[in-house]
Structure 1
Amino acid sequence: MTANTTDDANRSDTDTPLDLSIEVTCDACRKTATFQVNHDRYTAWRERRMLMQDAFPHLSAPDREYLKSRVCRDCWTAMFGPNPFAD
């Protein structure tokens, strides 16, 4: 499964290149997704020099959670219930 959360039509020429593929496997169900991110921003996030939402603004909140916690959206919902703040 590839996470297609980047909308190329909404990206500008000044956006950082998405030059790193990160494959994440859900620890609960073993489903795999691949996310395209910027290498420098990924490194900054891993080294705690950049907030996740600033490093990966092109990823949805559930995709950022998947990358951080290694739990996919379906398993997260099964564990904790639906997001009470979702629209």
Structure 2
Amino acid sequence: MSTVQSGTLQVLTEILDEVAEVPADQVTPEASFVEDLQLDSLSIVSVFVLVQRRFGVDVPNDVFDRLSTVGRTVAYLESGELPN
């Protein structure tokens, strides 16, 4: 994982802890927000509101709906495109 990815993952880990008290060791690229991290819809929206603020990006609703894992979210934040 590159330094940029590590930095992006670190910020996302901090947001997940702040919003939903998710332990850092559970935040992996493969982790699903719903199944693995047990986030409800309100928590997911809160996470993405903070993501948009901290990263200074706008995540359109159609993209937001497809960012189901930590890894997909990190990849999107770094490239501005949805990973395959």
What is the TM-score normalised by the length of structure 1? 0.31
Judging by fraction of residues, say which structure has more helix: 2
Highest CA radius of gyration, 1 or 2?
A: 1
Give the TM-score, by structure 2 length: 0.31
Larger relative contact order, structure 1 or 2 (CA cutoff 8 Å, min sep 6)? 2
